[in-house]
Structures are given as C-alpha cells and as structure tokens.
C-alpha cells in the first residue's frame, strides 16, 4: 500500500505510533552520538544488540555526549513487520487508507500487509518518507518535522545485517544531504593534504588500493562510503565507517600486515568485513580532495598513471553513488555530485598485480604533484 501526500494528522499519528512501537514503554538500551563532518547525530537504540554493530562499524565517528545535535535516529529490532503494517492501516480512522481497509473487510477481501510506503514529493523527491517491506523485514523512515529517522530490522546477526550493506547507509545519505554536501560511494587516500578520490563501481579495487595505501602510511578517509562537502571552494571528504571489505584473496595477501578485527563474511562468501579501529590515527576528517583517479585493473607488468579519463571517472562516481543510495531519479543529486568533481583534474592509474608497486606508483606521483 502506498500513501501519497498524507494529511498532517495522519503523519503525526503514524510517527507517534512508530515511537511507541520502538520503545514499547521501555527505556532505550543505549544512546550514542555520532559526528560526521559538521553534523551531529543522536542514536537512540531499543535493541541492546545494536551496540556491537554501532561500535564495530561506526567507532571512529562516535563521540561523548555533545551539548546539541542535529537529528535523531530511532532504531529497534522488530519481530513482526506484517503486524506493524496492519497497525498503521488502523492508526488514523479518518484516513482514506482506513476507509479502503474497512470496505475490503466488508467485501471479504484480504488486505496486503506485505508493503507500506508514504510519499510526499513536496518534501523529498523520488524517495518515501516511510517504507516498510515485510518480506524483507525492514523499516526505513524519516519525520521531517522533528528530523527523526527510523530504522528497524528483524535479524541482528552480523552476517544478516552486513548482507544489507553498511549500517544505516541510506539513512546517512538522507541525513547528510545538503546544498553543498552528499554521501558518496568512493574511496579517498592522500599525502600532505593532497587527497585522491578513487572513482569506480564496486569490485574495481577501491578497497584493496585504499587499504594498501593505509598500510603504507597514507592519510586515510574511506575505502567505500564517505561524506563529500564543498566548503570555501574546496571539496573535502570525511569518514563515516570504521570497517573495510576485502575479498578472501586480498585478505590472504594483506593478513600478515593488516591488524584488523574480523566482523563478518558478508553472508555472500565473496567479501570479508573487518574493523580497522587500530588505524584510527591514520583517519582524517575534512580532508581536501585535489584530484580524482579512476582505477584500471590491467595486470600490466608495472603500474602507471595517465591524465584524462574524466568522463569515465565522473560517470562511475556519480552512477555508483546514486545506485547505492537509491537516488537514481534525483536529478539534483546527480548534478550536485558531478559539480563537486567537475573542476578537478582526472587521472587513470593502471594497476598491476603487485600491490606494493601500485602504492609506490601513487606515492611518487603525489610527491611530485605540487612541485
């Protein structure tokens, strides 16, 4: 069932019910605070098991209780999403949704409680304010009046939660979206305040390359998701997650050097997930991005860097970002991401099988870049 432009009364009743459903009259299991870029988020969890995931995935951006915060995430473990959808049918007895439900009952028809969504194009384009997918056991929502975000799943085991992707990534995408800011799917490493934004789709080597650079002493922002902000004419990148993802083959190559804690096998057997909190001293926030680089896995004898390839790098950065956040129909976000990097120089790095040689190639390039 989909509701378009619900009344203010209907929305108020739905959000009030979600708050009650999340807490069920209990105090939060824990309250945490996250600092991402210039934004502070209060995280209110009614499921104690979330604490393990929050610490493992978001350890770097956790902070002590601040004096103020910009938004609230309410998270809980939901046991019965179909029952939750049914309750939302009944929450506002003056609504069109409730009227249709009662008519269907009189006719002997069965209501579909597998899906529920609310859309209002005047508030947010192309994405629901609230979406519940009962077969997928997930709820994602946002109350724009209070800037409160809602997230619920049924299974909090590491493999199941990692299978859904990075923790809260779609909520972060909405929370961090601003006129000059956006979540992006990419990697950033650098030297001497010269950040390199590694552009590419998944399985193009971003994690392998950025983690290898981290181990070689580079400044590190992210191997996967990050915040991009345009400030004072400079594009800056900030980290969100303290986890990395590596294929089993790359993990075998790096395991002797990488001091990381195993989190999950990603439930697909093709990627391992690790916490790299022991390297937080190499993490940097608001790191200036000076150039973009497209990764080309060519298995050449020796790595090399070539100028150009702007169209390829820009397209893959933008396409990958909006695909990961579900914003493929949001033209303004597509334009904004493209505008962030459009004026930067673009390069292509041709990668060999020798991980160390690849990183040394980038190091030599950056050491001479500003000379």
Q: Which residue blocks in the chain are alpha helix, DSSP H? A: 8-23, 50-58, 81-90, 96-107, 158-163, 169-176, 206-215, 248-254, 310-325, 331-342, 355-367
Residue with tokens 């809980």: 76
* Alpha-carbon torsion (355, 361, 362, 364), positive or negative: positive
Q: Across-strand partners of 194?
A: 191
List the one residue out of 178, 206, 163, 162 whose CA is nearest residue 313. 206
Q: What share of the chain is helix, strand, coil (3-state, %, to 5)?
A: 35, 30, 35
Per-residue pLDDT of the chain (371 residues), as tens digits, is: 888 888 888 899 999 999 999 999 999 999 999 999 989 999 999 999 999 999 999 999 999 888 899 999 999 999 999 999 999 888 888 877 778 778 877 887 777 889 999 998 888 877 899 999 999 999 999 999 999 999 999 999 988 888 888 999 989 999 999 999 999 999 999 999 999 999 987 777 899 999 999 999 999 999 999 999 998 899 999 999 999 999 999 999 999 999 999 998 876 668 899 999 999 999 999 999 999 999 998 878 899 999 998 999 999 999 999 998 888 878 889 999 999 999 999 999 999 999 999 999 999 999 988 75
Residue 188, SS3? strand
Where do the domains of the chain lie? 2-156, 181-367
Distance between CA 48 and CA 29 in Å, rounded? Answer: 5
List the one residue out of 96, 84, 134 whose CA is nearest residue 3. 96
Q: What is the CATH class of 181-367?
A: alpha beta
Q: Which residues, at least 6 apart from 83, have a Cβ–Cβ distance to it below 8 Å?
A: 113
């Amino acid at each position: 069932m989909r509701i378009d432009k619900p009344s203010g009364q209907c929305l108020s009743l739905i959000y009030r019910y979600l708050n009650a459903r999340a807490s069920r009259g209990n105090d939060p299991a824990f309250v945490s605070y996250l600092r991402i870029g210039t934004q502070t988020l209060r995280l209110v969890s009614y499921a104690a098991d979330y604490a393990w995931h929050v610490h493992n995935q978001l350890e770097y951006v956790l902070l002590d209780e601040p004096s103020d915060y910009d938004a609230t995430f309410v998270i809980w473990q939901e046991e019965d999403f179909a029952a939750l959808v049914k309750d939302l049918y009944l929450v506002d007895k003056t609504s069109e949704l409730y009227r249709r439900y009662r008519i269907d009952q009189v006719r002997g028809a069965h209501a579909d409680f597998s899906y529920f969504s609310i859309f209002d194009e005047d508030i947010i384009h192309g994405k629901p304010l609230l979406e519940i997918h009962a077969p997928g056991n997930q709820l994602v929502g946002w109350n724009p009046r209070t800037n409160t975000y809602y997230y619920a799943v049924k299974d909090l085991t590491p493999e199941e939660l990692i299978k859904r992707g990075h923790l809260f990534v779609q909520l972060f995408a909405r929370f961090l979206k601003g006129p000059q800011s956006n979540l992006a799917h990419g990697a950033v490493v650098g030297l001497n305040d010269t950040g390199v934004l590694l552009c590419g789709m998944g399985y193009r080597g971003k994690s392998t390359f950025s983690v290898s650079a981290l181990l070689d002493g580079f400044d590190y922002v992210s191997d996967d998701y990050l915040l991009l902000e345009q400030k004072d004419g400079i594009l800056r990148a900030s980290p969100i997650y303290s986890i990395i993802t590596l294929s089993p083959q790359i993990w075998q190559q790096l395991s002797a050097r990488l001091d990381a804690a195993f989190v999950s096998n990603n439930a697909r057997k093709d990627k391992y997930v690790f916490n790299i909190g022991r390297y937080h001293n190499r993490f940097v926030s608001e790191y200036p991005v000076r150039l973009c680089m497209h990764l080309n896995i060519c298995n050449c004898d020796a790595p090399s860097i070539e100028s150009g390839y702007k169209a390829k790098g820009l397209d893959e950065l933008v396409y990958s970002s909006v695909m990961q956040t579900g914003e493929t129909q949001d033209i303004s976000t597509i334009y904004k991401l493209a505008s962030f990097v459009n004026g930067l120089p673009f390069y292509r790095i041709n990668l060999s099988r020798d991980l160390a040689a690849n990183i040394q190639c980038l190091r030599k390039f950056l050491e001479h870049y500003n000379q």
